[in-house]
């Protein structure tokens, strides 16, 4: 079965209306491995980090020694993609292993109904649920951004522990409000009981998330139970608000740097320092040798605040490479070769089955992601023969419309706004997407048809939750 040759029964099963899809590309059995021998897993997701905004990825005006050390200690990916050029959809794909529009999140989840473009599907099975079944304690520290109220809060969707921010962005890194609302929470799930309380901590959000992650690691260090920590920083998302001493440090070092660029560099360097502290806590707790660490970003850098996406075209919000290709590395002492590198094309949703395979957690339902664990472990893994899709639905000047990209092999079909035509590029010959191919090219129709079929499939999944029943009243 392929997604382009469905029977009606196949289609209904694929969207969750006909029972679990069994023999699917994402299905993984579980092996019987005792919890004591399973790795801890720390997944670090940063917010709006550009492809060229690490010194290990080519930045000349910043110092990111801690992330660079992660890259050097494991495998670096040069063709890793976020599932969307904005926040919520990528996070939905990360935690579901599915394309975001297939779990109801084609756009950004926000406070107000008139500017909210997603509602994560109730039937979507999220990563912490599978890891819990495999014996893991699960936690998210930091930015959630997949729901602001019941039933779509982290603990209700499977996490045992939540210490962080429910919302999209903070209007201020120090007071942690969005539209004047405090979305900071401390929550837990024990024996089916969920406790969730509003908190109002003091300090820079990056420092808070760093400390809360360290606290969690120390609490779990003596438990004998493997853990999954999803550490989701909101840096370097706007507002670009680094601590003053970090900003001054950058200005003193970089003589010709603009104020705009200096602020972003300082925010990223401050973030790097926090990540270093988390890795140090793993080592001090005696956990680092049995911990897999994955680092990546939710989308490309935002150009109008000074981001650097290296040689890639455009940035955040764009379907060109600068909006969706992101840094990624993974390390696992004794398993992943230090200093290794991969040109394999992979997406955020591929981390779902990768983590499950590393944790021996069974996946018995349809997903779209494909495990890259064999690649990470240095084993031969042939390139995936698959179509890849990106979607974003947005309000404002976009008028609530969606726009797309699709890729097969080296060919990529791009619509960079709902009001622009689709253009076909050969990324091998034209990596900066400057020379569109003729619409009569054989790959234009092939990608156009595949994208159409994906849109049809996603059309069965609602992305809105209305406050009242639509009963004509």
Q: Picking from 15-29, 234-248, 274-288, which range would have the lowest pLDDT averaged per residue? A: 15-29
CB 372 within 8 A of CB 381: yes
Which one has a higher pLDDT value, 13 or 129? 129
Please confirm, yes or no, whether 176 is among the known catalytic residues: no
How high is the pLDDT of residue 34?
57
Measured CA distances, 47 to 76, 206, 377 (Å): 19, 11, 27
Q: For residues 376-388, give the mean pLDDT.
A: 97
Q: For the stretch 229-259, what's the b/e string if a residue is b when 16 or more beta carbons lie within 10 angstroms of its beta carbon?
A: bbbbbbbbbbebbbbeebbebbeeebeebee
pLDDT tier for residue 191 given thresholds of 50, 70 and 90: confident
Q: For residues 426-434, give the mean pLDDT.
A: 98
Domains of the chain by range and CATH? 26-376 (3.40.720.10)
Among candidate residues 366, 353, 349, the one with its CA nearest the CA of residue 461? 366
Which one has a higher pLDDT value, 1 or 156? 156
Q: For residues 414-424, give the mean pLDDT.
A: 98
Instruction: Write out the two tokens for 386.
Output: 């698959």
Any residues with CB less than 8 A from the CB of 238 and at least 6 apart, and which?
Answer: 48, 169, 302, 305
- Please determine, for residue 267, whether its predicted confidence score (pLDDT) is greater than 80: yes
Taking the C-alpha atoms of residue 167 and residue 147, their distance in angstroms, rounded to an integer, is 7
What average pLDDT does the structure give for the chain? Answer: 93
How high is the pLDDT of residue 192?
79
CA atoms within 13 A on the CB side of 352: 36
Q: For the stretch 391-400, what's the b/e string if a residue is b when 16 or more beta carbons lie within 10 angstroms of its beta carbon?
A: bbbbbeebee
Measured CA distances, 295 to 47, 128, 334, 391 (Å): 11, 18, 18, 23
Strand-strand pairing, 291-297 and 328-331: antiparallel
pLDDT in tens, 302-349: 999 999 999 999 999 999 999 999 999 999 999 999 999 999 999 999
Taking the C-alpha atoms of residue 255 and residue 128, their distance in angstroms, rounded to an integer, is 46
- Please determine, for residue 200, whether its predicted confidence score (pLDDT) is greater than 50: yes
Taking the C-alpha atoms of residue 426 and residue 443, their distance in angstroms, rounded to an integer, is 10
How high is the pLDDT of residue 453?
98
Largest CA distance in the chain: 64
pLDDT in tens, 18-48: 333 333 445 455 455 556 689 999 999 999 9
Beta pairing partners, 45? 232, 296
Beta pairing partners, 81? 325, 347
pLDDT in tens, 117-135: 999 999 999 999 999 999 9
Please confirm, yes or no, whether 145 is among the known catalytic residues: yes
Kindly name the residue from 84, 87, 329, 356 that is annotated as catalytic.
87
Kindly name the residue from 84, 137, 145, 237 that is annotated as catalytic.
145
Which one has a higher pLDDT value, 54 or 16? 54
How high is the pLDDT of residue 22?
34
Among candidate residues 366, 359, 408, the one with its CA nearest the CA of residue 384? 408
pLDDT tier for residue 465 given thresholds of 50, 70 and 90: confident
pLDDT above 70 covers a percentage of the chain that reads 91
**Rg of the chain on CA atoms, in Å:** 21
- Please determine, for residue 419, whether its predicted confidence score (pLDDT) is greater than 50: yes
CA 131, 196, 461, 388: dihedral to nearest 10 degrees?
-50
3-state secondary structure the chain: CCCCCCCHHHHHHHCCCCCCCCCCCCCECCCCCCHHHCCEEEEEEECCCCCCCCHHHCCCCCCCHHHHHHHHHCEEECCEECCCCCHHHHHHHHHHCCCHHHHCCCECCCCCHHHCCCCCCCCCCCHHHHHHHCCCEEEEEEECCCCCCCCCCCCCCCCCEEEEECCCCCCCCCCCEECCEECEEEEEEECCEEEEEECCCCCCHHHHHHHHHHHHHHHHCCCCCCEEEEEECCCCCCCCCCCHHHHHHHHHHCCCCCHHHHHHHHHHHHHHHHHHHHHHHHHHCCCHHHEEEEEEECCCCCHHHCCCCCCCCCCCCCCCHHHHECCEEEECCCCCCCCEEECCCEEHHHHHHHHHHHHCCCECCCCCCCCCHHHHCCCCCCCCCCCEEEEEECCHHHCCCEEEEEEECCEEEECCCCCCCCEEEECCCCCCCCCCECCCCHHHHHHHHHHHHHHHHHCCCCCCCCCCCCCCC
- Please determine, for residue 5, whether its predicted confidence score (pLDDT) is greater than 90: no
Among candidate residues 438, 436, 415, the one with its CA nearest the CA of residue 427? 436
Q: For residues 154-168, give the mean pLDDT.
A: 98
pLDDT in tens, 84-104: 999 999 999 999 999 999 999
How high is the pLDDT of residue 366?
97
Q: For residues 365-392, give the mean pLDDT.
A: 97
């Amino acid at each position: 079965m392929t997604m382009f040759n469905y029977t009606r029964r196949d289609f209904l099963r694929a969207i969750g209306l006909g029972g679990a899809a069994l023999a699917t590309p994402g299905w993984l059995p579980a092996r019987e491995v005792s919890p004591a021998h399973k790795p801890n897993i720390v997944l670090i997701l940063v917010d709006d980090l550009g492809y060229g905004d690490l010194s290990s990825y080519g930045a000349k005006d910043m110092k990111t020694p801690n992330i660079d050390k992660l890259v050097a200690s494991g495998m670096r990916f040069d063709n890793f993609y976020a599932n969307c050029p904005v926040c919520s959809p990528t996070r939905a794909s990360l935690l579901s292993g599915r394309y975001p529009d297939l779990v109801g999140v084609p756009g950004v989840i926000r406070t107000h109904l008139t500017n909210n473009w997603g509602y994560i599907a109730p039937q979507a099975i999220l990563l912490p649920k599978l890891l819990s079944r495999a014996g893991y304690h699960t936690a998210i520290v930091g930015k959630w951004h997949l729901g602001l109220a019941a039933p779509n809060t982290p603990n209700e969707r499977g996490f045992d522990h939540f210490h962080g921010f429910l919302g999209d962005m903070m209007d201020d890194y120090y007071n942690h409000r969005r539209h004047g609302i405090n979305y900071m929470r401390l929550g837990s799930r024990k024996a089916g009981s969920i406790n969730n309380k509003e908190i109002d901590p003091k300090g820079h959000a990056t420092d808070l998330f760093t400390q809360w992650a360290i606290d969690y690691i120390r609490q779990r260090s003596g438990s004998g139970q493997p853990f999954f920590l999803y550490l989701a920083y909101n840096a370097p998302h706007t507002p670009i608000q680094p601590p003053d001493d970090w900003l001054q440090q950058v200005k003193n070092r970089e003589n010709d740097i603009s104020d705009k660029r200096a602020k972003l560099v300082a925010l990223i360097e401050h973030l790097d320092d926090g990540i270093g502290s988390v890795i140090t806590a793993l080592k001090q707790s005696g956990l680092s040798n049995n911990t897999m660490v994955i680092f990546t970003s939710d989308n490309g850098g935002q150009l109008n605040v000074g981001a650097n996406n290296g040689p890639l075209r455009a940035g955040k919000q764009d379907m060109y490479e600068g909006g969706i290709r992101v840094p990624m590395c993974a390390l696992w002492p004794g398993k992943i070769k230090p200093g290794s590198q991969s040109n394999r094309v992979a997406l955020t949703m591929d981390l779902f089955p990768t983590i499950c395979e590393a944790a021996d957690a069974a996946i018995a339902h349809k997903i779209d992601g494909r495990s890259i664990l064999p690649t990470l472990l240095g084993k031969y893994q042939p390139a995936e023969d698959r179509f890849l899709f990106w979607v974003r639905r947005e309000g404002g000047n976009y008028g609530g419309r969606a726009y797309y990209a699709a890729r097969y092999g080296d060919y990529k079909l791009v619509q960079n706004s709902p009001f622009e035509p689709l253009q076909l590029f050969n990324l091998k010959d034209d990596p900066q997407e400057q020379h569109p191919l003729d619409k009569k090219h054989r790959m234009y129709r092939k990608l156009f048809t595949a994208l159409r079929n994906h849109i049809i499939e996603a059309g069965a999944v609602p992305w809105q939750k209305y406050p009242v029943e639509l009963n004509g009243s």
